[in-house]
Structure 1
Amino acid sequence: HNTVSMFIGTIPMGLATIINGCLAFGIARFGNGIVPVAHGLWWIDVAMSLACGVLIPYLMFTRHEHSLDGMTAVWLLPVVAAEVAGASGGLLAPHLTDPHAQIVTLATSYVLWAYSVPVAFGILAILILRMALHKLPHESMAASSWLALGPIGTGALGMLVLGADAPAILAAHGLAGVGSVAQGIGVVAGLCLWGFGLWWLALATLITIRYWRAGVPFNLGWWGYTFPLGVYTVATFRLGATLNLGFFGMVGTVLTIALAAMWLLVGAKTLAGAWRGNLFVSPCIATPN
């Protein structure tokens, strides 16, 4: 039940991916008529993210059984959904034609960022303590060390995107000064979070090397390597474009190559395991009584 509750938090993130796809590809295919659809889906995503962000921790506090040595970065999944929705709101706001809808979307996105990122960082602090006291999680959770890069990368990307939207949207409501401040805060916060993500990226890489040297068997949890690295890569490119620094473009290219290699590896192992029939196993059926 603990694991199921945690992964329910990934459902809003899947919806955010659909919303982003509507904006990135749907406008060119269907025109601006797709924007109201994306807007409606975004508000559904907001409601789901807010609910997951507080109800699942509430269940953890009142009904689930947990221990510090059993903690992993999976604890982050319910609370990260809100900042993912916030970053999507930053992508959506410039496409809205109603100035009131723009500022409401922008303000809501900032609230979603604050609803998620501080909580995620609190969990990360406990996670560092857990690993110091109880060492690394079981090999079946090898990929969980990368999940922490998700809220860090999404937090950086959200600040950069929202900061870029703020000047024009807030200026239309007589808040040009606030918009300039928001833009500056977005750049500084994005850069600082990127630096924190760099530390976690290096740590996760070392942890992964240790696991793989020990011959960790493949499981579906390996897909956890992809999303965090992907969003951190996007934040890297966005930071390079914002600061006009080629360094971030080079780092982003290296991360993209690593991400593509990981997708190919995990995808190939998933297909092979599905073909052999040893990947999807129900323990309650496989083990009598």
Structure 2
Amino acid sequence: MPRPFTRLPEPWAFVRHFTPNWFAMTMGTGVLALVIANLPWAFAGRDDLAFALWLINALLFVTFSLLFVARCLLFRDTFMPMLTHPVQSMYLGAIPMGLATLISGMTLFGARHLGNGVYPLAQALWWVDALLAMGTAMLVPYLMFTRQDHALEKLTGVWLLPIVAPEVAASAAGVLVPHLSAEAARQMLAVGYLMWGMSLSLAFSLITLVLLRLALHKLPDTDFAATSWLPLGPLSTGCLGLLSMGRDAPLAFAGTPLQGAAELARDIGLIGGLALWGAALWWLVAATLFTRHYLRDRMAFNLGWWGFTFPLGVFGLATFELYRLTALSLFGVIGAATALQLIAVWTLVMQRTLRGIWHGELFSAPCLRRAA
């Protein structure tokens, strides 16, 4: 058996070259745990399997957070190259999105595995996540406008990552709100709707640009194959957030002057969720066709492949939520197919990632190569 880390570009490369796109691994693993936990059909070991995946994801998130902080403290010269890199900086949005999957899992598994005391912790972490998401959504576009070099022919769906983070936090709020006091629930829902509106409006603008770029310059290189799935994320998360927050709003605002508006939000949430799901379905089919095209070119593995997982997972979660609300078998069938596809894709990408970690070939930050 070959020795590990034989392809590290330099000693301590796993710290110096640690990039934020590793947090996409926590996004994909976390959403898989949530999809399994939210399957409408029970089977032996379902909840235990979902909780085990959530625990693995929690360990990954803590490990990656320590590595990222270590890089920023021990190799300060690498911080600005990361921020000004036109691709690596986008993955800063993966940090709050990975944290959001942990918060949702804490809420789902709290009573059975972690005890009711986990809800105050989840609430505190949600506000941290909201601040990180808003900060990323503000900072990275500012750097795009002032410090980074971009061109239309180089545009990919990776531009969506920093601005979608608030929308993912809003969807996590929909999971947590039923376990909070009425006043805390109202505050969280109000902030959640604000973040949802800000994020989705910007996401629609960028998706429009992505479509224009595809029409004018065709598909990106195979290194960016997974980015063709990223527009599916904000459309699916937008649907899920609208459904979950609308479902919780009537109870949270009961007996207040906003009770009528909250009941309207529930009804509009279903209609708007169906509309967003339809848009997401179009992009799911398009991204599948794009991937078939890329497979003929023998894509080389990179960490960007985790971009295949999270959009597919949130589409599955949104589909299951529509199935519960409408009882239409169409959503059940599509949701089940999506879950199976996610399991297969996650297994493949995790296998390739572990192999890359063993050899050390994934620890090479593009921003440092460019700076050199």
| TM-score (ref. length: structure 1) | 0.94
Match of 1:230 among 313, 317, 325: 313
Count of residues in Structure 1 that have an aligned counterpart in Structure 2: 287
Q: State the Cα distance separating 1:74 from its structure 2 match.
A: 0.4
In structure 2, relative to structure 1, the CA distance for the partners of 1:31 and 1:6 (3 Å cut) is: same
Structure having greater relative contact order (Cα 8 Å, sep ≥ 6): 2
2:264 pairs with 1:169: no
Give, in whole Å, the separation in 1 of the partners of 2:369 and 2:204: 39
Counterpart AA for 1:194: W
Task: Return 253-262 or 271-280, whichever deviates more.
Answer: 271-280
Identity %: 48
Match of 2:291 among 193, 200, 208: 208
Alignment match, 1:87: 171
Q: State the Cα distance separating 1:17 from its structure 2 match.
A: 1.4
Of Structure 1 and Structure 2, the greater helix share is in: 1
2:186 pairs with 1:142: no
Give, in whole Å, the separation in 1 of the partners of 2:149 and 2:292: 31
Give, in whole Å, the separation in 2 of the partners of 1:82 and 1:282: 26
Match of 2:323 among 240, 245, 268: 240
Q: State the Cα distance separating 1:4 from its structure 2 match.
A: 2.5
Alignment match, 2:125: 41
Where structure 2 has 5 or more consecutive residues not aligned to the other structure, the ranges are 1-84
Q: State the Cα distance separating 1:179 from its structure 2 match.
A: 1.9
1:231-270 Cα offsets, whole Å, 9 max, x none, are 0011001011011111101110011111111111112222
The 3-state SS of whatever aligns with 1:161 is helix
Q: State the Cα distance separating 1:283 from its structure 2 match.
A: 7.0
2:271 pairs with 1:188: yes
Give, in whole Å, the separation in 2 of the partners of 1:187 and 1:285: 46
Alignment match, 2:69: none
2:152 pairs with 1:68: yes
1:194-216 Cα offsets, whole Å, 9 max, x none, are 00001000100000000001212
Q: Is the 8 A contact 2:233 2:311 kept in 1?
A: yes
Give, in whole Å, the separation in 1 of the partners of 2:225 and 2:140: 23
Where structure 1 has 5 or more consecutive residues not aligned to the other structure, the ranges are none
Give, in whole Å, the separation in 1 of the partners of 2:293 and 2:248: 42
In structure 2, relative to structure 1, the CA distance for the partners of 1:228 and 1:100 (3 Å cut) is: same
Alignment match, 1:14: 98
In structure 2, relative to structure 1, the CA distance for the partners of 1:193 and 1:285 (3 Å cut) is: closer
In structure 2, relative to structure 1, the CA distance for the partners of 1:267 and 1:162 (3 Å cut) is: same
Q: Is the 8 A contact 2:306 2:349 kept in 1?
A: yes
In structure 2, relative to structure 1, the CA distance for the partners of 1:184 and 1:95 (3 Å cut) is: same
The 3-state SS of whatever aligns with 1:32 is coil
In structure 2, relative to structure 1, the CA distance for the partners of 1:90 and 1:30 (3 Å cut) is: same
The 3-state SS of whatever aligns with 1:37 is helix
1:208-233 Cα offsets, whole Å, 9 max, x none, are 00000121222221111000000001
Match of 2:138 among 30, 54, 57: 54
Alignment match, 2:116: 32
Q: State the Cα distance separating 1:273 from its structure 2 match.
A: 3.3
| TM-score (ref. length: structure 2) | 0.74
Give, in whole Å, the separation in 2 of the partners of 1:66 and 1:284: 15
